[in-house]
Amino acid sequence: MNNTPAVRLDFFQDKYLADLTYYHLSTDQLMYTAHPKEALAKEAFEARRHGIVILFQHHVAGFFVLEDGESLKMYSDNQQALLLCSYSIAYKMQGRGIAKQSLLQLPAFLNCHFPKKNEVVLGVNHQNIIAQHVYQQCGFVDSGKRIIGKKGEQYVLQLNVMEAIH
């Protein structure tokens, strides 16, 4: 029996570019997140941004960026934190639990690749109830902090990496 998880996280590599080129997000999704091509274009100029692909059965199903640059300061004073942004699951891959599985794997991924980081923070639009629910199911908690993003008020959620691993 194969115990390999159906969902796996990997750093963006050129071999994923073709899949991300044809990556579709609905208009509703684009209200709250950037298309991976946009995020990757920005990443090329910033060394402190790391594109992460979400693989489902070896196919690109999602994407997000982990950042520890200047943008992080808006969300957290913790110098050992990472900012999760541009999170999305491709439209045709939704409804399979991929988002939840990927977020539950995030603490172990961080522990392996960013061992000095102990927290993940993100901003989620106050109207994006579905995303809020998924993040909270995966251990993210409301920090109580609010910021104003491009699309209005965002709740700042945080995840203690070490607590999530244990």
Q: In a structure prediction context, what are the per-residue pLDDT tens digits for the chain, which is 166 residues long?
A: 445 568 999 999 989 988 887 887 777 776 777 767 777 776 555 668 899 999 999 899 999 999 987 888 899 999 999 999 989 999 888 888 999 999 999 999 999 999 999 999 999 999 899 899 999 999 999 999 999 877 889 999 999 998 766 5
- The length of the chain, given as a count of residues: 166
**What values do phi and psi take at 55, rounded to 5?**
-100, 135
Q: What distance in Å separates the CA atoms of residue 61 and residue 98, rounded to the nearest whole number?
A: 8
Largest separation between any pair of C-alpha atoms in the chain: 48
